């Protein structure tokens, strides 16, 4: 059974599943990069009118839509697409890592502390809102992160970034001066 949950972003909705959607962590797919997508479920969902991006996580899927389409028309289509997938398949939609690219220097103690705070204190809260946050870099006291899913383009994401993420990181990692989204 698929349930939906509103997110702080009015153009994004979270679809919760009892079944595992992603066995490999959180992945975001954007309509703009649709030609690079090799997963049929994702490709079909990106082809729905008004779907701008989707984020697949372990037990939920977030859909961000354009203004031209309403949730009344899109929501049943997404639920039906998910239900159809799980009726025909008994495996998660994401099972294998598509590509593993790491620009993270794991020998840097400060970077490791930043990633630990992001993973343990921030990512779970962001996931509750249907999004994800990915560490990108740390240089000269500035942490650069990428906001994904419902958080991408959300009206309250700048406030979340500055008042939530930045304050937490500055509290736990003294070397951090500010946080920026890329």
Report the CATH number at residue 33: 3.30.1370.70
Under 8 Å between Cβ of 160 and 181: no
Is 111 or 123 the better-scoring residue by pLDDT?
111
Per-residue confidence (pLDDT) for residue 47, from 0 to 100: 94
26 falls within a domain: yes
Q: Quote the longest CA-to-CA distance of the chain.
A: 51
67 and 18 housed in the same domain? yes
Q: What is the mean pLDDT of the chain?
A: 87
- Residue 37 in any domain: the answer is yes
Instruction: Name the band, by pLDDT with cuts 50, 70 and 90, for residue 99.
Output: very low
By percentage, how much of the chain surpasses pLDDT 70? Answer: 93
Residues 10 and 77 in one domain: yes
- Any domain includes 122: yes
In a domain? residue 165: yes
Q: Please say if the pLDDT value at position 161 is more than 80.
A: no
Residue 54 covered by a domain: yes
Q: What is the mean pLDDT of residues 107-131?
A: 84
Query: Which single residue is written with the structure tokens 């993420």?
Result: 165
Do 74 and 17 reside in the same domain of the chain? yes
Residue 95 in domain: no
| Max mean pLDDT range (75-79, 93-97, 143-147) | 75-79
Residue 163 lies in domain: 109-181
> How high is the pLDDT of residue 100?
39
Q: What is the CATH number of the domain that holds 177?
A: 3.30.300.130
Torsion angle, alpha carbons of 178, 113, 28, 156, to 10: -40
User: Average of pLDDT values for 154-180?
Assistant: 84
Q: Are residues 81 and 123 in the same domain?
A: no
Contact 117, 168 (CB under 8 A): yes
On whether residue 99 sits in a domain, the answer given is no
Q: What share of the chain is helix, strand, coil (3-state, %, to 5)?
A: 35, 25, 35
Average pLDDT of span 138-145? 92
Q: Using the predicted structure, report yes or no on whether residue 98 has a pLDDT greater than 70.
A: no
What's the total number of domains in the chain? 2
Q: How far apart are CA 112 and CA 88, in angstroms?
A: 41
Is residue 157 a part of any domain in this protein?
A: yes
Whether residue 117 is found in the same domain as residue 166: yes
Confidence of residue 97 (pLDDT cuts 50, 70, 90): low
Length of the chain: 182
Per-residue model confidence (pLDDT) at position 102? 46
**Is pTM, for the whole model, over 0.85?**
no
pLDDT (0 to 100) of residue 23? 92
């Amino acid at each position: 059974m698929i349930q939906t949950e509103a997110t702080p972003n009015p153009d994004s909705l979270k679809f919760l599943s009892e079944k595992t959607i992603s066995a490999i962590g959180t992945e975001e797919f954007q309509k703009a990069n649709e030609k690079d997508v090799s997963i049929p479920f994702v490709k079909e969902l990106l082809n729905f009118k008004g779907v701008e991006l989707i984020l697949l996580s372990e037990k939920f899927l977030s859909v961000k839509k354009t203004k031209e389409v309403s949730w009344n028309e899109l929501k049943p289509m997404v639920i039906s697409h998910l239900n159809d997938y799980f009726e025909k398949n008994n495996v998660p939609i994401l099972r294998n890592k598509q590509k593993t690219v790491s620009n993270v220097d794991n020998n840097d103690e400060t970077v490791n502390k930043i990633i630990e705070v992001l993973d343990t204190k921030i990512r779970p809260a962001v996931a509750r809102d249907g999004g994800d946050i990915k560490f990108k870099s740390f240089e000269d006291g500035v942490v650069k992160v990428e906001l994904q899913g419902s958080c991408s383009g959300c009206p309250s994401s700048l406030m979340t970034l500055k008042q939530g993420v930045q304050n937490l990181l500055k509290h736990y990692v003294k070397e951090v001066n500010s946080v920026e989204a890329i």
